[in-house]
Amino acid sequence: MFDSGTTGFMMVCAMLVFLMTPALAFFYGGLTRRKNVVNTMIMSIGILGVVGVLWVVAGWSLAYGGDGSIPVLGGFDQLFCQGILSNLLSEAETAISHDTYPAIVDVAFQMAFAMITAAIVTGAVAGRMKFGALMAFIAVWCLVVYAPLAHMVWGGDGSLIGDMIGALDFAGGDVVHISSGLTGLVLCLLLGKRRGFGLMSYRPHNVPFVVLGAGLLWFGWFGFNGGSAFAADGIAALAFLNTMAAPAAAMLSWMLVERVRTGKATLVGACTGIVAGLVVITPAAGFVDVWAAVVMGLIVSPICYAAIAFLKPRLGYDDALDAFGCHCVGGIVGGVLTGVFCVPELSWTDFGGLLYTGDPTLLLAQVEGILVTVVFVAVASAIIGLVIKALFGGLRVSVDEEAEGLDARQHGESAYPAFNGLD
């Protein structure tokens, strides 16, 4: 029997998570240069179409189909969402998810997760990647990397990371943030640096866009983390509150670091701190006490700031909008700290956090799960990137296109057709 309250709750959460991808388009669009804002935003919007179709065709089945006998993959039994509607109409047992709401709602909820994950990748390649090559890459990546990883972490009994290793990931530290940020790093290494990188300053062209995007992301994240409880219960309420507390602390922490290092706290920095705080709490949202969420927010900002301000220049990779520095690094920090702060009674396994139990078992499982994620994502993304590069005769636009701007050359549009100022 379906519970109408939980069904409504999960549908609202799915809509909130869906909103996060257009929100990211504004966030990334504001951070990029004026001549590339249309290209940067359409990369996120285009993903709504690509992933939306592929998730119905095969993504859902590869992530959550099958009988659990394959540790790294779902199955092929629900291609094109086969059987979901007939089961719903016949009220079969398989039509119910988590014993309370229609399984068909999960298809939409998890589709929205796949969309925002793929969109995060685009921040690393802004300003220099062929639009067609990116869409082709995301299409393959969604089925070959994201869907299997979702199964490995959230596939239940028999899944490699979630069951065999015993690592916890409440709402997507591994599946969403580490995978997307690391994939962005792989792609930006394959692409090479932007024209003039290291010689000129790349400033955000529209700070109000950044604020709008960050605010909508924070709003959508309540569905992202709260809905991952799969019920309108106390755990969802805990995740909801932690989703308020951790970003607030991270924003303050980021502004403090900026103030100490540069003498000024910036609005873009405050918004970046919010995102870092949202990332760090994602794997832990339903596992940790509220005070721990605040501590995690305070910890993550200096680490992500260091990755962006010091590690990136030292290693010389051009992660344009810091997808790796914020999402992958923040996701790793969140995953590790989950192993420290997890309240034993809230754990999905037999083990609680190191702080409560003195037992490092969960912490070690978290580290092992992260390492498996990193190796799988890095290798698979590199292979896909190289294949797409060969098929498209390169991933990167021409020197002339990059100099003129991708809005005009790739899309024939301008975000500000009446704007006569300098780029």
Query: What DSSP letter does each residue of 11-33 carry, written as one string?
Result: HHHHHHHHHHHHHHHHHHHHHS-
Task: Give me the pLDDT at residue 419, please.
Answer: 55
Residue 127's CB is within 10 A of a number of other CB atoms, namely 22
Q: Which pTM value belongs to this model? A: 0.96
Say if residues 237 and 9 touch (Cβ distance below 8 Å).
no
Distance of CA 352 to the CA centre of its chain: 25
Task: Give me the pLDDT at residue 422, please.
Answer: 54
Query: What would the pLDDT profile of 308-320 be if each residue is shown by its tens digit?
Result: 999 999 999 999 9
DSSP classification of residue 397 = P
Q: How many CA atoms lie within 13 A of 291 on its CB side?
A: 1
Q: How far apart are the first and last CA of the chain?
A: 58
- 44, 318, 326: which is closest to 191 by C-alpha? 318
Place of tokens 């980021």: 254
Task: Give me the pLDDT at residue 418, please.
Answer: 67
> Measuring CA to CA, how many Å separate 244 from each of 69, 107, 220, 249, 291?
38, 26, 12, 9, 12
Spatial separation of the C-alpha atoms in residues 65 and 62, rounded to whole Å: 6
Question: Residue ranges of the chain with pLDDT lower than 70?
Answer: 91-94, 198-200, 418-423
Q: Report domain extents, the chain.
A: 4-411
- 4-411, which class in CATH? mainly alpha
The residue type found at 184 is: G
Q: How many CA atoms lie within 13 A of 204 on its CB side?
A: 21
DSSP string, 247-267: HHHHHHHHHHHHHHHHS---H
Structure tokens at 370: 């992260």
Spatial separation of the C-alpha atoms in residues 415 and 39, rounded to whole Å: 9
- Cβ partners under 8 Å of residue 49, min gap 6: none
- Cβ partners under 8 Å of residue 73, min gap 6: 62, 66, 147, 148, 151
Number of residues that make up the chain: 423
Task: Give me the pLDDT at residue 2, please.
Answer: 84
Query: What would the pLDDT profile of 410-423 be if each residue is shown by its tens digit?
Result: 999 999 886 555 55
Spatial separation of the C-alpha atoms in residues 21 and 120, rounded to whole Å: 8
